[in-house]
Amino acid sequence: MAIIKPFVAGRRFSSTAGAGTGTGATYSIAATAFTTDTGAAATAFPASFAYYNLYINAVIQTADTSTVTTTTITIPGGDTLDPATPIIVEFVVT
């Protein structure tokens, strides 16, 4: 039997904390406020993914730090970050 390698790829999106709206538990950043790896404006986050990683100021965050949909990432308390703080979301798709 032949070995078939699974397809795995990463999709990265970058923005800054200043692109978000809301306060406290409702602070979120729209997918359209991000750029892709190619520098193009993002239109949505992947609808299907194995997992995602959130980096705030280049530091990976724990899973309880955020929630994500195809249109937004919610980061409770993210409104307390400096507006220039880089936010990177990496989706691993299969």
| DSSP strands (E only) in the chain | 9-16, 28-30, 35-36, 51-56, 59-60, 67-68, 72-74, 86-93
In the chain, how long is the greatest CA-to-CA distance?
A: 55
Domain ranges of the chain: 9-93
pLDDT at 6: 80
**pLDDT band for position 70 (cuts 50, 70, 90):** very high
CB atoms within 10 A of CB 93: 15
pLDDT at 5: 73
* pLDDT per position as a tens digit, 34-59: 999 999 999 999 999 999 999 999 99
Question: No. of H helices and E strands in the chain?
Answer: 0, 8
- Helix or strand (DSSP H, E) at 62: none
